[in-house]
Amino acid sequence: MKQIEAVIKPFKLDEVKEALTKVGIQGMTITEVKGFGRQKGHTELYRGAEYSVDFLPKVKIQILVPDEKASQVVDTILQTARTGKIGDGKIFVTPVEEVVRIRTGEKGADAI
Amino acid sequence: MERGKCKRLFTSLAMGLGMVLLANLSFAQEATTPAPAAPAAATPTAPAPKLPPYFTATSPDPKGPALWPDPIGANSGVWATPAGDGKGDVPDQLKLGDLYDRIAHNLYSINFVWALVTGFLVMFMQAGFMFVETGLCRAKNAAHTAAMNFLIYPLGCLGFWVYGFAIGWGNWWNGPTPPGWYASLGPGLSVLNGGWGLGALTDAAGAVTGAFKYGIIGTTGWFLNGAVNDAGVMVLFFFMMVFMDTTATIPTGAMAERWSWKNFVLYGCWIALPYCIYANWVWGGGWLAQGGINWGLGHGAVDFAGSGVVHGMGGLIALAGAIVLGPRIGKYDSHGRKQALPGHNVPMVVLGTFILAFGWFGFNPGSTLAGTDLRISFVVVNTLLASATGAVGAHLVLSWKGLKPDPTMMCNGMLAGLVAITAPCAFVNPMGAVIIGLVAGILVVYSVFFWETRGVDDPVGAISVHGVNGLWGVLSVGIFATGEYGAGWNGVVREGMVKLYGSDGVRGLLYGDFSQFFMQVIDCAVLIVFGFVMAYVWFKISDLITPIRVSKETELEGLDGPEMGTLGYPDFQLHQGSKLVE
C-alpha cells in the first residue's frame, strides 16, 4: 500500500477530486495548509504600507491506494492539478505498513 | 452650537403670532439688536409688556414659587387634548392667548422629539465605532478593542453625569450673552445659570447676572441635582452626553492593540474633563463663542455640530495617546520602515462606516436642537454630499498614487468627509459641502501616510479622520459659510453687515467676512494646544498610576486572553501574522 500526499493549489481541489473519483478512488482526506516553495510569498499593500505574505494557502490531499494503483493516481493528479505556473505544488508517495478500518477491524488492502 | 436659531425662533414667533397678540410691542425689533436689549431688560419708561412667563423664563409673581426647574414641562405653554380640560379647549372659546400657549408648547414638543430621536441615532454610532475599530485591528485583539468601545459608553456617561455636564453646560443660560436667548428646548434651561469666568457682568441695576465677559466653565448641575430637575435640561443632557461619547471612543482606535485595560478605565473616567471644558468655550457660551462679542471677530467660534468640539478634540487626544504609547510591536522593522499589520475584518469596517454615516444624520441635523428649524434639510443634504465626496476623494488619491482602492482607506475617506462637514453643515450650500468633503477625502489619505512615516502608529486612522479633518471642518466654516443662516449667532448682530447683506448670518471669507475665518483659526489653535497638552499630560500622569502599555508578552500573544480573559474568536486558531521584529 502507498500513501499519496499531494499539496496543490486550493482552487484545483474540485477538479482533482472528480478526476480521482473517475479512476476509482473512494476516499481521501484533505487539510488546509500554508507553505512556500520556489514560489515564495508575495507582497500586498495595506493602507499604503507594503507587507509580504510568506506562507501561501494550499490544500493537502491524502490518499491510500494499493501499490499497483499508485502511478495511475499520481498521473491523474499531475494532469488535473497542473497550471504550468509556479506554485502548482508537489506529490509525495510513501509506503504504508498497515491500514485498519476502525468500524470492522479489517486490515491491509481490505481496509482501504 | 445652534444658538442663533433660537433667537430666530423667538423672533418668528413674535413676528407671526405677536403681530396679532402683541401688536403694539417692540419685541420683534428688539430681537434683532444685540443682546443687552433683551426683553427682560425693557426700559422702565415703557409699559411692561404682558408676556407669557415661558417667554421671559421669569415667574409673573416674583414672590411666588419659581416656575423652573419644571420636571414635567407644564410651565412651557399649555399641553391640552381636544377633549377639553377646563382651560377653554372648546374651539370657539379659545382666546388668542390660549392659542399662543398651545402653539408654544407644540413648538417645544417638536423640538424635544427631534433632539431626542436624533440623539438616539448618535448613540447608535457607538456600534459603528466598535465595528470600524475592531475590524481594523488584528483578530488576537478583537475582544479587547470591542470591549474598549463598549465600556467607554457607560464610563463616559457617568463622568458626564457626575461633573461633565455641569462644567460644559452649567452656565448655558448666560452665555454668550444673558439671558439665554437660545431656548428651543424651553425656558427650563434658565436653571443652567451658574458659572465661573473672568469679568462678571451686571445688569442695569448693578446686580450680578451670572454672566461673564469671558466665560470659562459652568458650575450648575453636578450629578443632575435638584437645581436642574427640569424636562428641558434632561433633553440637553442626553443629547450632549451621546455627543461626548463619540469623542471618548475615538482614541480607543488610535491606541488599540497595546493599551492596558486598567489605564483605559482611568481614561474613561477622565475624558469628560477636557471635552466639557472646551465644549463650554464653544457651545456653552464660553470665551471662544464670545469672540464675536468681545473682539468683533465674526460670530465668535462657530462649530455647528462639533468638527472641533467632538472630533477635533477626540483626534488630538488620540494623537497624544498614540505618541505616549508608541507604535505596536512589528509596526516598524529594525530599519524603521513601516510595516502593514492588516485589520482582520474588512466587511466589519464597511458595516461600521455605514452605521456611522447613518448616525451622522442624527449628529448634524439634530444639532439644531429644534425640529422647527427648517434648515435641517440643508444640513442633511450637505452631510450626505460631503460623505459621498469624501469617499470618492480618497479613491481618487489612491488611484493617482497608483494604489489599489483599499476599502479601509475609502471608509476613512467617507468618515473624513463627514467629520469635516460637521462644523459647517448648516452654514454652507451644497456646492460648498461637495468641496469640503472632497478636500477631506484627499487630506485623510495623505494624513494617514504622513503620521505613519512620522512613527505615529494609528491602527484605524483616527488621528487623520477626526483630528486633521476636524480642524479642516472648523476652518472651512470660515471659508465657505454663505451668510444665509445663523443671524444673531452667538449674540452677534453687526449693523454694517445687516445694511450690506440684509442680515448678519455666519459668513466665510469667500462671502465677505474675513474676521470669521480669523476666529476659526484662533479656535483651531486653542483646540490644538488645549486638547493635545491636556491629553499628553494626562496620559503621562496616568502612566505613573498604572502602566499605559501592556507587556511585550501580552502584546505578542494578543490582548484578548491576558487582558480580557476572553478571546474574540475562541473557535479559531489565529494566524500570528506579524513578524516579531523591534
In this structure, which long-range contacts are made by residues B115-118, counting pairs with CB atoms below 8 Å and at least 24 apart in sequence? Answer: B115/B185, B115/B235, B115/B236, B115/B238, B115/B239, B115/B366, B115/B369, B115/B370, B115/B371, B116/B235, B116/B238, B116/B239, B117/B362, B117/B366, B118/B239, B118/B361, B118/B362, B118/B363, B118/B365, B118/B366, B118/B367
Instruction: Find the CB nearest A48 among B341, B343, B452.
Output: B452
Contact yes or no for B255/B319 (Cβ under 8 A)? no
| Interface residue B183 vs chain A (CB under 8 A) | no
Q: List, in sequence order, the alpha helices (H) in B364-494.
A: 376-400, 407-422, 430-453, 462, 469-480
Cα B493 from chain centroid (whole Å): 24
Residue A41, number of CB atoms within 10 A of its CB: 12
Closest alpha carbon to B52 in B246, B199, B183:
B183
Question: Using alpha carbons only, how large is chain B's radius of gyration in Å?
Answer: 25
Q: Which three cell numbers stand for residue B412?
A: 476613512
**Cross-chain residue pair B452–A49, CB shorter than 8 Å:** yes
C-beta of residue B491 within 8 angstroms of C-beta of residue B181: yes
Give me the residue from B339, B404, B445 closest to A49, CB to CB.
Answer: B339
Cross-chain Cβ contact B403/A45 below 8 Å: yes
Q: Using an 8 Å CB-CB cutoff, list chain A residues near B461.
A: 47
Q: Which H or E element spans position B540?
A: helix B514-545
Q: Please state, in angstroms and rounded to a whole number, the distance separating the CA atoms of residues B256 and B59.
A: 53
Tens digit of each residue's pLDDT, chain B (582 residues): 444 444 444 444 333 333 333 333 333 333 333 444 344 444 556 666 678 888 888 877 878 888 889 999 888 888 877 655 555 577 777 788 888 998 999 999 999 999 999 999 999 999 999 999 999 999 999 999 999 999 999 999 999 999 999 999 999 999 888 776 567 898 999 999 999 999 998 888 888 888 999 999 999 999 999 999 999 999 999 999 999 999 999 999 999 999 999 999 999 999 999 999 999 999 999 999 999 999 999 999 999 999 999 999 999 999 999 999 999 999 998 888 898 999 999 999 999 999 999 999 999 999 999 999 999 999 999 999 999 999 999 999 999 999 999 999 999 999 999 999 999 999 999 999 999 999 999 999 999 999 999 999 999 999 999 999 999 999 999 999 999 999 999 999 999 999 999 999 999 999 999 999 999 999 999 999 999 999 999 999 999 999 999 999 999 999 999 999 999 999 887 766 544 443
Contact at 8 Å (CB) between B416 and B473?
no
Contacts of B394 in chain A (CB under 8 A): none
Residue B85, C-alpha cell as written in the block: 380640560
- Does any CB of chain A come closer than 8 Å to the CB of residue B409? yes
Residues in chain A with CB shorter than 8 Å from the CB of B403 are: 45, 48
The Cα–Cα gap between B122 and B116 comes to 10
Residue B462: its chain A contacts at CB < 8 A?
Answer: none
Interhelix angle B96-135/B3-21, rounded to 10 degrees, is 160
Per CB-CB distance under 8 Å, the chain B contacts of A57 are none
Q: How many CA atoms lie within 13 A of A70 on its CB side?
A: 15
Cell of B411: 471608509
Name which of A45, A47, A51, A52 to mutate to probe chain B: the one with the most chain B Cβ atoms within 10 A of its Cβ: A47
Contact flag A51-B342 (C-beta cutoff 8 Å): yes
CA nearest neighbour of A20 among A57, A62, A58, A67: A62
ipTM for this model = 0.76
| C-alpha–C-alpha distance, residues B149 and B127, integer Å | 8
> Cβ A49–B408 below 8 Å, yes or no?
no
Q: Which residues pair with A46 in a beta bridge?
A: A49
- What does pTM read for this prediction? 0.88
Chain B environment of A48 (Cβ under 8 Å): 403, 406, 409, 445, 448-449, 452
- Within 10 angstroms of residue B376's Cβ, the number of other Cβ atoms is 21
- Cβ burial B67-89 (10 Å sphere, 16+ → b, else e): bbbbeebebbbbbbeeeeeeebb
Among B161, B170, B156, smallest CA distance to B247 is for B156
